[in-house]
Amino acid sequence: MEIAPKHRPFIIAIDGPAGSGKTTTAKALAKELGFIYVDTGAMYRAVALFAQRRGVSMADRDAICTLLDDVDIRLERTDGSQHTMLNGEDVEQHIRTQEMSKAASDISAIPCVREAMVDLQRHAAKDAMGAVLEGRDIGTVVFPDSPCKIYLVADTPTRAERRKKQLEEKGIAADLETIRREIEERDRNDAAREHSPLRKADDAIEVETTNTSIDEQVSMILSLVWKRIDQFQKGQSI
Ligand code: DC
């Protein structure tokens, strides 16, 4: 797949609530298209882990803004999987717990944190031919001019089941009812915050994933993306 230099980087924005299928979809798209993949949630999780290690409460906004000066976050790819590096340490395992999900949601409501992460995210895509970014505000704030915005949704029981499976695959024990409650709480938190709340961009395509298999979902979105790329390269309005 080639993107004309003047259209680079071609940004695909994937937003939606927890467990809606963003990660699987975004990774599959990036692989298929040869684009880079950016998991923006991992960045908020890494900041939350850093604050927790320093003993700073997620509610102490001034202290959190100050400690950002000491945080260096990089997303690296090794052995075909992503590793989140926090000040040179691979923290991928540490940031995936339910505790860090909640802490990341809390810390992501702080404007100075969002500003720093948005800068990092724009920078990460800068030199790529194309990038697939997944998060909550990619289509609305990080790349509002993205020609290809997808907003994924699925019902809560399905999202809870998916999250349970993901955690178990990582060797983390998980109770379905607790996960369901935490997902609902996180949805409320992410959608109600003042700064860049989770919402569908007006020009995003909403895709309901409750009753679709991963393969169906990916191939459906991929054909949508191909169409957008084609229209975009031909200079048609999309
Ligand atoms: O995608 P995730 O579950 O790893 O994200 C963890 C939290 O980070 C999520 O509850 C809200 C926050 N987040 C955000 O506010 N904006 C993003 N672009 C990505 C994540």
Pick the CATH number of 8-230 from 2.40.50.140, 2.40.50.660, 3.40.190.10, 3.40.50.300: 3.40.50.300
Residue-wise pLDDT tens digits, 205-218: 999 999 998 889 89
Pocket test for ligand 1, best of 22, 23, 91, 105 (most atoms within 8 A of CB): 105
The pLDDT assigned to 167 comes to 85
Pocket test for ligand 1, best of 75, 99, 108, 121 (most atoms within 8 A of CB): 108
CA–CA gap between residue 142 and residue 102 (Å, rounded): 22
Closest residue to atom 12 of ligand 1, CA basis: 105
Residue-wise pLDDT tens digits, 66-116: 999 999 999 998 877 889 999 999 999 999 998 999 999 999 999 999 999
pTM over 0.85: yes
- C-alpha closest to that of 66 among 114, 118, 113: 113
CA–CA gap between residue 229 and residue 232 (Å, rounded): 5
Centre of ligand 1 to C-alpha 41, Å, is 4
What confidence category does residue 237 fall into, taking pLDDT thresholds of 50, 70 and 90?
A: low
Q: What's the Cα-to-Cα distance from 129 to each of 11, 19, 38, 123, 210, rounded to whole Å?
A: 9, 28, 13, 13, 32
CA–CA gap between residue 125 and residue 127 (Å, rounded): 6
